[in-house]
Amino acid sequence: MRPVPTAEPAAQLQQRKRTLPWAGRWLAVLCAVALVAACNETKVQPADPAASGELAPAQSASASLAAAVPAPWLIGADEPRGNAQAGAKLVADFECGRCHTGREIKPIRLESHCISCHQKVMRGGFDHKPEHVRWKENVVHLTATPSLRAVGRRWRYGWLVNFLRKPHDLRPALVQTMPQLALTQQQARDIATFLTGDFPPDPTADAHAAANLAKIDHGAGHTLLNDKGCGSCHEMSGVAPLKGLNAPEPGKHETRPAVILAPDLRFVRDRFRPGQLTNWLKQPHKLKRDTPMPETPMSASELDTIAAYLLYARLEPVKPHVAPKPLPLLSRRVGYAEVAEQVLNVTCRHCHGNPDDAVGDGGPGNTGGFGYRARGVNLTSYKYVAAGYLDAEGARHSLFEKMPDGQPRLIAALWARHAEVSGSPVDGLRGMPLGLPPLKAKEIQLIASWVAQGRPR
């Protein structure tokens, strides 16, 4: 599943054209930097007033925004801070601890911690249970997730708010992605405020850092990334492929944590604080002690060149995810056993499990989790699949009831995941599987054929 570029809503652009709460003395610097970077790919010269180090007056901020496409780190810069205390409660309510550690996230029991449980499966901790031995091949790619330690030291607050609301794929080798949660804008602000509380935003410092890096000739940046072996873990879509001694094999799922968690470097300019970028490249463990990123010896000049390249190199657009066309229904008989073996037991039962197998926790899709109420969807047997789901009032409904477009609800949810990855979520319908790649057209065809045939055993 590849990264999906997100279009900026017109309302957000109009909102940014107003004078930002703390934009009075730094916003024009970023606007000038953005214009300069867009005009010159190789050698970027600063534009006044940034060239002299002086900050522009507040009166020019709105005019500058209207005339320029803002730098990526300006998007979301006017997001007001939320309530950290409310954010801490939301982190618990939305069960961020099911996958993440760090930033005062309270430990969650093993049965509910997706990643820790998978790690224990791989270590043989459940080998006394035959079904868990068989699960090893299915969870091998779901054994790592980034910690939320020192978020504020690295990531921009405004980016984090938007990402929580509309997550997209950041890490090419990581199978799972941040799930689409039912968060309001204010809830996202509260969570982001809590997560960045250890290092509050400093827009003035970031503006100066961005302006200074704009002066750097970053023409050698790509060569330096190769020379320093960055391609051993990272990709950077939109530029020539990076090289590395142990680079990931195309199309192969990775199991090395450093590679699994390595983000696509094209998103550095979106998510990273310009004022901390060179510090991160120089001593990543100083900013985040549990990062798997190694410390690579670099001179001050090399650090600046790579940082400038990551911020200002011209990027080719990424092709958005295009959902495959539905395949015609199969004419041969499809039984439940085949559907379970090919799909349900491979992917779906991660979230729609049997609570009797996990000390009462049937996963977010069954007994509830990630802020979602219990829906009672158990996909571990024919009997449970036929039992359907619970609506908001607790009434039972079939998973195969027809949606307004005529599709069975289960099939519609599978296609809705493709829509989410394409950047166009379906209102009122969460795509499945949650936080995992969409099912292939052949897999959906198999389930759709089984449903159309009356769901034979």
**In this predicted structure, what is the pLDDT of residue 392?**
87
Q: What's the mean pLDDT in 265-286?
A: 94
Percent of the chain clearing pLDDT 90 (strictly above): 45
CA-CA distance, 435 to 144, in Å (whole number)? 14
165 vs 145, more confident: 165
pLDDT in tens, 345-379: 888 887 898 888 766 778 888 888 777 888 999 99
pLDDT in tens, 96-135: 887 787 766 666 665 555 665 665 565 666 555 555 555 5
Q: Specify the residue for token string 């950290």.
A: 84
**In this predicted structure, what is the pLDDT of residue 319?**
85
With cut-offs at 50, 70 and 90, classify the pLDDT of residue 3.
very low
CA-CA distance, 404 to 219, in Å (whole number)? 54
**In this predicted structure, what is the pLDDT of residue 115?**
61
Q: What's the mean pLDDT in 276-302?
A: 93
With cut-offs at 50, 70 and 90, classify the pLDDT of residue 188.
very high
Q: Where are the domains of the chain?
A: 1-79+202-214, 84-195, 336-452
Question: Does 19 score more than 50 pLDDT?
Answer: no
pTM over 0.85: no
**In this predicted structure, what is the pLDDT of residue 18?**
34
Q: What's the mean pLDDT in 287-308?
A: 93
Question: Does 147 score more than 60 pLDDT?
Answer: yes
Q: Pick from 437, 413, 436, 435: which is nearest to 426 by CA?
A: 413
Q: What's the mean pLDDT in 74-84?
A: 83
CA-CA distance, 111 to 358, in Å (whole number)? 6
How many other CB atoms are there within 10 angstroms of residue 378's CB atom? 23
Both tokens of 187, joined, read 């809830």
Q: What's the mean pLDDT in 136-143?
A: 58
